[in-house]
């Protein structure tokens, strides 16, 4: 049995799971989820592409984001990468994989996911595969995700009964991202560094003894339900749009390289080149001015968290969208008032989760002359994620500079 290691608690939330036992401990199984599929998922934005079906190492990624990161790590033809979701026509929050998608993932050697519940539709069923489960590389903790129907203004707190979840209580040191001083990607996985017993798997404790209240927004130390501190700075630690965090993407690249080397040490990888590129984006984000930014959906939290930007989305609207609920009429009115009263300098608009309300917010902001930056969930099918990430950071930082000067 292969060993399991946990990432350094002061630096990482994700990591690499090497055993099915560890995956089962990390992911509370959802009855029937493995059989959950939708024919509507078939098409140009599902199923992905395979670099080489006869490759020695098969990598399946939940989205083209993680697929492109894996491809950036190695161009060796012995490694084939297949994303399940490609393009920007599908909302990954509500995606249901087909039987073919899951069969491809089950046959893979490595599966790359964001975690945090966002792509649980891919990694939860793998927990049932026993020792046949692939290596899992993930950016956030592998928690379950249960979709609920919401009435107007209702959020959801994902309360799981006994045995269904586990409580991730991280100490302050566990999420200490000192952005002002740069970041340390020192991931030397020495044998003595990870003290998890092989039989115990990934150490998430007894899943039957915990209740996991899964809130995608993650309140700060003072318990702010909107995930912001007193100055309006974003606490993005558990925001599931983690691919917009340069540090987390670099971590995933390194873990992909390690997983490949575990299977074939002779394959050349270039995780350090990915990290170097992302370091430049981190510096650009860190230099953004202290403008006021609101979002139609909290897609940019990880981008804003690296800066002095104030996130000023009205609290009720932000709290509801963080939890994938439908904003109430009062939430919508508060957002429109903030636009009309010149309380917003820049609006981040997510076209991939557009609704009549978010389109109305965009139109109103445009009429007021407020700068608008579009940031979707995933890049278009014809664009590499790392190129797209660079363009997104450039667009956001340039728009922030223009808003400050206006």
CA–CA separation, 243 vs 61, rounded Å? 13
Q: Report the domain count for the chain.
A: 1
Give a yes or no: residue 112 inside a domain: no
CA–CA separation, 101 vs 105, rounded Å? 6
pLDDT of 85 strictly over 50? yes
Give a yes or no: residue 342 inside a domain: yes
For the segment 129-136, the average pLDDT, to the nearest whole number, is 86
Give the residue from 383, 398, 370, 379 showing the smallest Cα distance to 295.
Answer: 370
For the segment 155-167, the average pLDDT, to the nearest whole number, is 39
CA–CA separation, 146 vs 288, rounded Å? 36
Rounded to the nearest 5 degrees, what angle is found at the Cα of 62, between the Cα atoms of 85 and 163? 130
Sorting pLDDT into bands at 50, 70 and 90, what band is 92? Answer: confident
Helix, strand or coil, per DSSP, at residue 143: coil
Looking only at the bridges linking them, the beta strands covering 110-113 and 135-138 are parallel
pLDDT of residue 236: 76
Give a yes or no: residue 380 inside a domain: yes
Helix, strand or coil, per DSSP, at residue 333: helix
Sorting pLDDT into bands at 50, 70 and 90, what band is 136? Answer: very high
Phi, psi torsion values for 394, nearest 5 degrees: -60, -45
pLDDT of residue 220: 40
Give the residue from 125, 60, 120 showing the smallest Cα distance to 99.
Answer: 125
Sorting pLDDT into bands at 50, 70 and 90, what band is 231? Answer: low
CATH of residue 397's domain is 3.40.50.1980
Q: Which alpha helices (H) appear in 108-145, and where do they start and end?
A: 120-126
pLDDT of residue 22: 53
State pLDDT tens for residues 252-282. Answer: 999 999 999 999 999 999 999 999 999 999 9
pLDDT of residue 258: 97
State pLDDT tens for residues 284-298. Answer: 999 999 999 999 999
In the chain, what's the furthest Cα-to-Cα distance? 61
pLDDT of residue 34: 34
Compare 88 and 93 and report the one with higher pLDDT: 88
**Token digits of residue 18:** 């090497």
Class of residue 298 by CB neighbours under 10 A (exposed 0-12, middle 13-18, buried 19+):
buried
pLDDT of residue 230: 63
pLDDT of residue 228: 67
Give a yes or no: residue 17 inside a domain: no
Looking only at the bridges linking them, the beta strands covering 57-63 and 79-85 are parallel
Give a yes or no: residue 66 inside a domain: no
For the segment 318-325, the average pLDDT, to the nearest whole number, is 89
pLDDT of 212 strictly over 90? no
Task: For residue 346, list its beta bridge partners.
Answer: 293, 371
State pLDDT tens for residues 359-387. Answer: 999 999 999 999 999 999 989 989 999 99
Helix, strand or coil, per DSSP, at residue 110: strand
Q: Which residues contact 250 (CB under 8 A, 6 or more apart)?
A: 185, 271, 274, 275, 278, 279
Phi, psi torsion values for 204, nearest 5 degrees: -110, 10
pLDDT of residue 132: 81
For the segment 315-338, the average pLDDT, to the nearest whole number, is 94
Compare 225 and 315 and report the one with higher pLDDT: 315
Contact 375, 299 (CB under 8 A): yes
For the segment 197-216, the average pLDDT, to the nearest whole number, is 36
Give a yes or no: residue 244 inside a domain: no
Alpha-carbon 164 to chain mean position: 22
**DSSP annotation of 326:** B
Helix, strand or coil, per DSSP, at residue 71: helix
Give a yes or no: residue 314 inside a domain: yes
For the segment 196-213, the average pLDDT, to the nearest whole number, is 35
CA–CA separation, 256 vs 371, rounded Å? 37
Give a yes or no: residue 324 inside a domain: yes
Q: Across the chain, what does the average pLDDT equal?
A: 76
State pLDDT tens for residues 52-64. Answer: 778 899 999 999 9
Cα dihedral: 98, 88, 157, 152 (round 10): -110
Q: Where is average pLDDT lowest: 5-9, 42-46, 130-134, 292-296?
A: 5-9
pLDDT of 185 strictly over 80? no
Residue ranges making up the domain that contains 367: 280-405
Helix, strand or coil, per DSSP, at residue 328: coil
pLDDT of 25 strictly over 90? no
Sorting pLDDT into bands at 50, 70 and 90, what band is 127? Answer: confident
């Amino acid at each position: 049995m292969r060993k399991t290691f946990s990432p350094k608690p002061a630096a990482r939330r994700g990591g690499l799971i090497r055993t099915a036992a560890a995956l089962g401990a990390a992911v509370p199984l959802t009855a029937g989820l493995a059989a959950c599929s939708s024919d509507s998922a078939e098409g140009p934005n599902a199923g992905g592409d395979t670099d080489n079906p006869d490759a020695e190492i098969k990598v399946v990624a939940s989205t083209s984001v993680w697929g492109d990161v894996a491809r950036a790590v190695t161009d060796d033809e012995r490694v084939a990468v297949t994303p399940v979701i490609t393009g920007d026509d599908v909302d990954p929050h509500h995606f249901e994989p087909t039987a073919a998608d899951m069969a491809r993932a089950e046959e893979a050697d490595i599966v790359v996911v964001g975690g945090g519940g966002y792509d649980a539709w891919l990694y939860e069923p793998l927990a049932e595969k026993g020792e046949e489960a692939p290596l899992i590389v993930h950016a956030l903790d592998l928690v379950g995700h249960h979709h609920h129907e919401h009435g107007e203004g209702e959020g959801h707190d994902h309360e799981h009964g006994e045995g269904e979840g586990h409580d991730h209580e991280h100490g302050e040191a566990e999420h200490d991202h000192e952005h002002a001083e740069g970041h340390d990607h020192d991931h030397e996985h020495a044998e003595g560094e990870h003290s998890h017993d092989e039989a115990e798997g990934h150490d998430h404790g007894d899943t039957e003894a915990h209740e996991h209240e899964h809130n995608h927004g993650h309140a700060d130390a003072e318990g702010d339900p909107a995930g912001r501190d007193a100055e309006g700075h974003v606490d993005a630690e558990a925001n599931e749009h983690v691919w917009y965090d340069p540090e987390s993407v670099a971590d995933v690249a390194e873990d992909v390289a390690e997983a490949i080397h575990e299977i074939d040490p002779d394959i050349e990888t270039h995780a350090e080149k990915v990290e170097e590129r992302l370091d430049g984006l981190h510096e650009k984000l860190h230099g953004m001015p202290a403008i006021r930014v609101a979002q139609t959906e909290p897609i940019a939290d990880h981008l804003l968290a690296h800066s002095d930007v104030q996130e000023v989305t009205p609290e009720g609207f932000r709290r509801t969208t963080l939890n994938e609920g439908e904003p109430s009429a009062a939430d919508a009115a508060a957002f429109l008032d903030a636009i009309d009263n010149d309380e917003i300098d820049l609006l981040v608009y997510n076209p991939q989760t557009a609704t009549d309300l978010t389109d109305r917010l965009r139109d109103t902001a445009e009429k007021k002359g407020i700068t608008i930056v579009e940031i979707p969930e995933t890049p278009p099918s014809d664009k590499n994620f790392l190129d797209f990430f660079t363009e997104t950071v450039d667009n956001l930082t340039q728009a922030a500079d223009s808003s400050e000067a206006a």
